[in-house]
Amino acid sequence: MKKIVWGVFIQFFILIALASAASMAIEPISEGNISDLTGKWEGKRYTKKGTFRTEMEIYNDTLPLKGKFIWHDVKRKGGGTYTWDFMQGMIKDGKFYVKRGQNHFELSLHKGDEKMKLEGVYFTDGHEGTITLYKK
């Protein structure tokens, strides 16, 4: 009897995990859905030194994309907030891609039952990490 209850319990949690994974699917970005990116985004960037609040805003829905990243808790710039403008955002391999000098971001769009999410990696001024932003 204990084995049956335990087996049902495990199957139940597997179904919950599968359902939650299916609710946010990666949607390749193209010129057809680029308007989903416009507006304000807020989330966190994850580094070896910690987790920090980050914002992004995209102003237009045509290529090249223009906007800004707002980094909070920036240690190397004397603390506080640092704004990083971009004027040449593009779509590369179905992802939102921004490059300025040696700095770049590569973010995938996730859509589903929850809020839209951009998630990916970044490399800025010798620092690297992952970033997750949710549409406001």
Q: Which domains does the chain have, with CATH numbers?
A: 26-135 (2.40.128.20)
Cβ neighbours, 10 Å, residue 37: 22
In the prediction, which pLDDT does 113 show? 79
**pLDDT tens track for 40-83:** 999 999 998 889 999 999 999 999 999 999 988 776 656 688 89
What pLDDT is stored for residue 53 in this prediction? 94
pLDDT at 2: 53
Give the per-residue pLDDT at 76: 63
Task: Report H helices in the chain.
Answer: 2-22
Nearest alpha carbon to residue 29 among 106, 85, 132? 106
4 pLDDT band, cuts 50/70/90, is low
The pLDDT > 70 percentage for the chain reads 79
CB 37 within 8 A of CB 134: no
pLDDT at 106 over 90: yes
Confidence at residue 37, expressed as pLDDT on a 0 to 100 scale: 97
